[in-house]
Structure 1
């Protein structure tokens, strides 16, 4: 299975987790997914200071700046596998 196929499978599996991961885990998943699919966060699109949720998501993603698509995909797959092992799938 190619890295892209593994990534796509992990993206599907994360939607089948038995329960919602912690906020920290959700931010990590979001950041890795965005880095793997979009690349570095654009500073021009940083949410305003009153958009707390959007700002937290953008900042988590921005911390991944410089990470290659392949590295982000591998980290995302590993994170989903760890969550699957601890939470389980439906």
Structure 2
């Protein structure tokens, strides 16, 4: 199976995990997904200082700057597979 197919399957599988992952793991999934699909962060940080959720998402994605889409996809697939066990 190609990496892109594995990635898309992992994205689908992530929606039906038996247990909801912790917020930290959810941020990791989000940032790896965004890096794998869009590459480096391409938006401005949230302007509202009290928008903690979107600020955390932005910072998590931003922390992966420079990671290739392929590497992010591989890490995402590995993380989802680990969560399925």
Q: Which interval holds the TM-score relative to the shorter structure?
A: over 0.9
Question: Which deviates further from its counterpart, 4-13 or 44-53?
Answer: 44-53
How far the C-alpha of 1:45 sits from its partner, in A, is 1.7
**Other structure's SS at 1:67 match:** coil
Q: Which has the larger share of helix?
A: 1
> In the alignment, what sits opposite 1:22?
22
Q: Give the root-mean-square deviation of aligned CA atoms.
A: 0.9
User: Structure 2: which 5+ residue stretches go unaligned?
Assistant: none
User: Structure 1: which 5+ residue stretches go unaligned?
Assistant: 86-90
> Does structure 1 residue 34 correspond to structure 2 residue 59?
no
> In the alignment, what sits opposite 1:74?
74
Q: Distance in 2 between matches of 1:17 and 1:50?
A: 30
Q: Distance in 2 between matches of 1:25 and 1:71?
A: 17
Structure 2 length normalisation: TM-score? 0.95
How far the C-alpha of 1:41 sits from its partner, in A, is 0.8
How far the C-alpha of 1:11 sits from its partner, in A, is 0.3
Structure 1 length normalisation: TM-score? 0.89
State the 4+ residue runs in structure 1 displaced beyond 6 angstroms: none
Task: State how many pairs are aligned.
Answer: 84
Output one character per residue of 1:19-76: Cα deviation in whole Å (capped at 9) or x when no partner.
210000000000000000011113x521122211000000000000000010000000
